[in-house]
Amino acid sequence: MKKINVILICLIALSSLLCAQSTSPHLTKKGTATQLIVGGKPYLILGGELGNSTGSSLEDMRQVCAKLEKMQLNTILVPAYWDLVEPEEGKFDFTLIDGTIELARKHNLKVVFLWFGAWKNSMSCYAPLWFKQDYKKYPRAYTKAGKPLEIASSFSENVCQADNRAFSQLMKHIAAVDKEDGTVIMVQIENEIGMLEDARDYSNEANALFKKQVPETLMDYLSKNKKDLHVWLLEKWERQGAKTKGNWQEVFGNDAYTDEIFMAWSYAQYVEKLAQSARSIYNIPLFVNAAMNSRGRKPGEYPSAGPLAHLIDIWHCGAPSIDILAPDLYDKGFTDWVARYRLHNNPLFIPEVRLGDNNGVQAFYVFGEHDAIGYCPFSIENGSQDAPLTQAYSKLKELMPVLTKYQGQGQSKGLLFDKENKERIIHYDDLKITCRHFFTLPWDSRATDGSQWAEGGGIILRLAKNEYIVAGSGIVIEFEKEGEKKNIETKTLGEDGFISQGGQKTEQTIWSGSLRAGIGTVDEISINEKGEFSYIRRLNGDQTHQGRHVRIGVDDFSILHVKLYEYK
């Protein structure tokens, strides 16, 4: 009888644990995608990150949360400041945390807290004053020239223990006040961690470790995962003979990038200690963010050794409890940057991106092209309720149940166009889909009057053979069968659709006798929370150029349900 009772107790405990895991925010794999599950459903973060100081005032937060709800956000990223959480050593104040959670609930927002602990943009500016002042107990990093920096040393056990203690108290408090409600859906550990001025710390502790053997744990990881390593790291390792033993310079070479690898290992191990504490307290998704290694800068000129794409293997080995390495994007070349972080072993989440009028189309692009978990412009409180992002987020909220249903299946593509990159061709089965910027049509004077082209972008999602969702802004799409056109003779069409000597170029062909693709219907629709479509209006005639294409203007965001047919 006692054995039966013990078994029942164990089963009840296991059931409770599984239930807690299924209801708490968590990540799960679906095909090639990683999905964030919130409230038992896949969730796309249509977010924004607050400026660094806004979250330090609940009065500011009251105004901001009301505004962001009107801007159609579903999530806000808010700093949790170590200096305000633990103003006196061992004494904790969670007033701002509680107030933020309460306001978020009131305005239908989820929260991602950003732990501004030992490092924020490399510097230790958010560490409490009692920590900063006691530099003997909590030592600094040093440059090669011996200069102490306003950067706490990751090689100090005292630094890590103090940081981890405060972070653990934060996680305990979040679990206590929010576990049942689930307002807090992810947590970021530190912020843009990395070394500046030099590629690594030159403190005595760091120098001693740099001369020692590369840890066996890392060497085993590199050897076991050699086929899947990031190409940059693999090539650097192989140039030194792919040694499986030696000190850091013997294994990776004598340059600043070896210093960076060494420093990344230190940061990753440090972060892993905080991540393990968080997992043991409240097991929700954890991520770290990176300032980019851009503009031709070398390690130390950018925050060296942060969770950068080329260091992903060092971070995965050193901090296996971290779910996502996330890029902060402020440079040109958006599509190239996001491709670096959407890897087979790293889902795409963008916690920071420059605030601008192109945010809406960029959001459509990353969800369509990369099955992104979320997209978040920085300093979002400074955005306008009339900005394109508001329209974009409104439509993406509608699309969420449909997009998440098809994530990881290779059925969606993202579109992002400007004046230099204005066309993309997509192939599905025997169908060729030509996608272009809206201004490639001759009907808007802004296309040719010297105006800067607003970016166009969107999503094309294949629901079934000859059935698609087209959504976004500033795009035009044509459908044709592969090999349909032969013996091409170029003609031009005017804006009335008839042949003229000016206007849009089109391809006139000698008929090849194969099946052609025609546009059957184009309906503008809305979508409810269950993913069900509701008809708004039929687009035809001038709105499809008499059946030649599907389009959405640069000033609008729309969701279109397109059905094709075949004929000959």
CB 62 within 8 A of CB 400: no
**Domain limits, CATH 2.60.220.20, in the chain:** 413-567
Q: What is the pLDDT of residue 30?
A: 97
**Nearest 10 degrees: CA dihedral of 378, 380, 381, 384?**
140
Give the pLDDT means over successive 10-residue stretches in the chain (568 positions).
50 45 86 97 98 98 98 98 98 98 98 98 98 98 98 98 98 98 98 98 98 98 97 98 97 98 98 98 98 96 97 98 98 97 96 98 98 98 97 98 97 97 95 97 91 96 97 98 67 59 57 84 98 98 96 97 96
Contacts of residue 540, defined as CB under 8 A and 6 or more positions apart, other chains included, come to 521, 522, 547
In CATH terms, the superfamily for domain 44-212+256-407 is: Glycosidases (3.20.20.80)
Q: What is the pLDDT of residue 514?
A: 80
Which DSSP symbol is given to 61?
H
Per residue in 372-413, pLDDT tens? 999 999 999 999 999 999 999 999 999 999 999 999 999 999
Query: Taking CA 378 as the corner, what is the angle to CA 373 and CA 382, rounded to the nearest 5 degrees?
Result: 130
Q: What is the pLDDT of residue 447?
A: 92
Q: What is the pLDDT of residue 516?
A: 93
| pTM score, whole prediction | 0.93
Burial class (CB in 10 A: 0-12, 13-18, 19+), 301: middle
CB 73 within 8 A of CB 46: yes
**Nearest 10 degrees: CA dihedral of 481, 484, 489, 495?**
-30
- 3-class SS of residue 422: coil
Q: What is the pLDDT of residue 51?
A: 98
Query: What is d(CA 293, CA 312) in angstroms, rounded to the nearest whole number?
Result: 13
Q: Inter-axis angle of helices 95-106 and 157-178, to 10 degrees?
A: 40
Query: What is d(CA 428, CA 500) in angstroms, rounded to the nearest whole number?
Result: 33
Query: Taking CA 157 as the corner, what is the angle to CA 325 and CA 119, rounded to the nearest 5 degrees?
Result: 40
Q: What is the pLDDT of residue 512?
A: 65
φ, ψ of residue 74 to 5 degrees: the values are -115, -5
Query: What is d(CA 284, CA 170) in angstroms, rounded to the nearest whole number?
Result: 13
Residue 518 in tokens: 């025609």
**DSSP string over 327-353:** EEE-SS-HHHHHHHH-BTTB--EEEEE
Domain range 413-567, CATH class? mainly beta
Query: What is d(CA 188, CA 324) in angstroms, rounded to the nearest whole number?
Result: 10
**Domain limits, CATH 3.20.20.80, in the chain:** 44-212+256-407
